[in-house]
Structure 1
């Protein structure tokens, strides 16, 4: 930059000298009489020219500095953005676990349209997935996979178009799935409970300062494997209570089958009721995944 300024100053001086000589040669009389420039005037003009050239050089240098500064800032921002992207990818990589083993868990829904607050249309039944037991099943699936447990999640609408035929239709689904995936002995039919008519909110407990919907398990007494089914439900309840006091799910016995005969590790799981919010039930699925994962690892 210093070399460039010197060149500009020399050029300005040469221009001034040449223009002065040309003026004197073209009109010497006028130059000598009315437009004569004395030493002082010549000095002022030279100083003015030099000052102007210096200002131009300074402006150019400032512009060049600003440009370089912008480039450096742009470069710094780019480096920062790349670092943030890399950090984000690394965080996502920690969450995502590559599941390569055979499926161990099957999640399905006999009453697939059961929904939670604030989705209260059609008496808490909706065909859209968000806010339903299928939504909660997605969370349970994701959390189990993060723990390295392979899951098959079936979202067939078994209670449409006929609610009364729900169990017949879901039986066809689960028998097909257990035949296709013989390693998946943990079979979860995920429902939600129905709150009492007088209830204003769902059943929940607080875990880590957050409202978490409670869960319960229904065991069909008509199943030939009733003893095994009850023992598994009890193991779930005890493990969940051990991990989080008050979280242990209740075991409800009913004089039906509920298709639980398909596996000794079958579970009719009710997460929350229709007065629980979808956020509360999603959290319940997160903690339930931790419980189930520990039991699966213990039984391997």
Structure 2
């Protein structure tokens, strides 16, 4: 009986093999006929046969040569991306005007509903030896044509919250601890242990002499139109500019710090919201202010973030509902062939100084107001942080916060700023 069952099993197996061979042979015949007599068959039934044939062919090849499965899938994805770029009218238009730059339009991420802008992308298909990026010179007056990615944070909000607010030096020197508690690294870049010179950054002197009767801090807004959930339309006090005014008043009246608040508008073009060149447009007048006021040491670009509608970035400080803040660093680096290299077309000689400052600000925040800050966000462009060694980009809450919650954040932020730069602290 066992031999009979075994024979039946073998017989069924042979039948299955024969059916598969017939199917594959039919597929080969169909493909051969299709090559020599294309477009012979039409209609739904033949389309279904063709798709089935394509699937069988792919499965046969990729399962016979396993490495091809990864290669074909990767190539298919790249082809789809290239097709999307080639079909983009923005890419066609701007690539003709500025051959060095390729432009893509990003879709909304699953994490953030931020304003999505055009982002420069160095052509990777050009031979590296023939088009050395370091030899490319961009005139200063045309810097606004280079557009930085301003859809700031593309990592989930949950990954941007510290899990601890008390740190030892050994912990801060540990790379994994830094990533889990201090920094959020944007998905378009990567960082390694050697990128974090924590001990040097902690020992760096950030003191500023606030006793001089000259401007020491400059506050400005690359995105002046950023507002909050209950902001009144057309009321500047309900935007980040209003926050800058309040922060200036607190620093001057409570801490005797001489502050200059620049209210220039750089994200409105011809009466319409346009942030695609805001950083470039802001860089020139802000640089002029710094040139005319050499006493200014601290440069703060005050923003608010954009998050999914269900996210509410709030904590309680002194019994008040207060918007959380986030320090943001543009490290002027980009990914080329899987490696991080200096962003030579938007350089920042002060990256390490900026990183040292944001770390000290983060630690001071944790000391004074645990839970007030999100993790420091690191992104590849420079965001005008090249304007000063003590440049800061600060996100106050997001579009889902109320004006009151955002304004409540200015008191603790002012104290953090003062104590970080005060020589006595």
- What range describes the TM-score normalised by the shorter chain of this pair? 0.5 to 0.7
Shift, 1:299, TM fit? 7.4
Instruction: Write the distance in 2 (CA, Å) between the matches of 1:248 and 1:298.
Output: 23
1:157 to 243, 249, 265: 265
Q: In the alignment, is the contact (CA less than 8 A) between 2:309 and 2:400 conserved in 1?
A: no
The residue matched to 2:418 in structure 1 has which SS? helix
Q: Does 1:217 align with 2:366?
A: no
CA RMSD of aligned residues (A): 1.8
Please name the residue that 1:88 is paired with.
none
Please name the residue that 2:74 is paired with.
none
1:198 to 300, 310, 314: 310
Gaps of at least 5 residues in structure 2 are 1-210, 333-347
Shift, 1:187, TM fit? 0.3
Partner deviation per Cα, 1:51-80 (whole Å, 9 max, x = no partner): xxxxxxxxxxxxxxxxxxxxxxxxxxxxxx
Shift, 1:134, TM fit? 0.3
Q: In the alignment, is the contact (CA less than 8 A) between 2:221 and 2:263 conserved in 1?
A: yes
Shift, 1:266, TM fit? 0.2
Distance 1:142 1:236, change over 3 A: same
Partner deviation per Cα, 1:230-273 (whole Å, 9 max, x = no partner): 11001111111101121244210000010101111101111110
1:232 to 357, 361, 377: 357
Please name the residue that 1:136 is paired with.
243
Distance 1:130 1:205, change over 3 A: same
Q: In the alignment, is the contact (CA less than 8 A) between 1:113 and 1:127 conserved in 2?
A: no
Instruction: Write the distance in 1 (CA, Å) between the matches of 2:247 and 2:237.
Output: 14
Instruction: Write the distance in 2 (CA, Å) between the matches of 1:299 and 1:179.
Output: 28
Instruction: Write the distance in 1 (CA, Å) between the matches of 2:361 and 2:304.
Output: 17
The residue matched to 2:415 in structure 1 has which SS? helix
The residue matched to 2:395 in structure 1 has which SS? strand
Partner deviation per Cα, 1:79-121 (whole Å, 9 max, x = no partner): xxxxxxxxxxxxxxxxxxxx9711110000000010012027x
Aligned length: 195
Stretch moving more, 189-198 or 273-282: 189-198
Shift, 1:197, TM fit? 3.6
Instruction: Write the distance in 2 (CA, Å) between the matches of 1:275 and 1:299.
Output: 37
Instruction: Write the distance in 1 (CA, Å) between the matches of 2:308 and 2:424.
Output: 37
Pairing of 1:60-209 with structure 2 (within 5 A): 101-119=213-231, 127-146=234-253, 147-161=255-269, 162-199=274-311, 202-209=312-319
Q: In the alignment, is the contact (CA less than 8 A) between 1:103 and 1:152 conserved in 2?
A: yes
Distance 1:279 1:158, change over 3 A: same
Q: In the alignment, is the contact (CA less than 8 A) between 1:218 and 1:269 conserved in 2?
A: yes
Pairing of 1:19-98 with structure 2 (within 5 A): none
- The runs of at least 4 consecutive aligned structure 1 residues that moved more than 2 Å come to none
Please name the residue that 1:241 is paired with.
366
Please name the residue that 1:32 is paired with.
none
Instruction: Write the distance in 1 (CA, Å) between the matches of 2:397 and 2:388.
Output: 24
Shift, 1:191, TM fit? 0.5
Q: Does 1:287 align with 2:412?
A: yes
Instruction: Write the distance in 2 (CA, Å) between the matches of 1:138 and 1:130.
Output: 8
Q: In the alignment, is the contact (CA less than 8 A) between 1:215 and 1:250 conserved in 2?
A: no
The structure that is helix-richer by fraction is 1
Instruction: Write the distance in 1 (CA, Å) between the matches of 2:284 and 2:370.
Output: 38
Shift, 1:137, TM fit? 0.5
Please name the residue that 1:27 is paired with.
none
Shift, 1:163, TM fit? 2.3
The residue matched to 2:316 in structure 1 has which SS? strand
Instruction: Write the distance in 1 (CA, Å) between the matches of 2:261 and 2:216.
Output: 11
Q: In the alignment, is the contact (CA less than 8 A) between 1:239 and 1:248 conserved in 2?
A: no
Shift, 1:183, TM fit? 1.2
The residue matched to 1:298 in structure 2 has which SS? coil
- For the pair shown, the structure with the greater C-alpha radius of gyration is 1
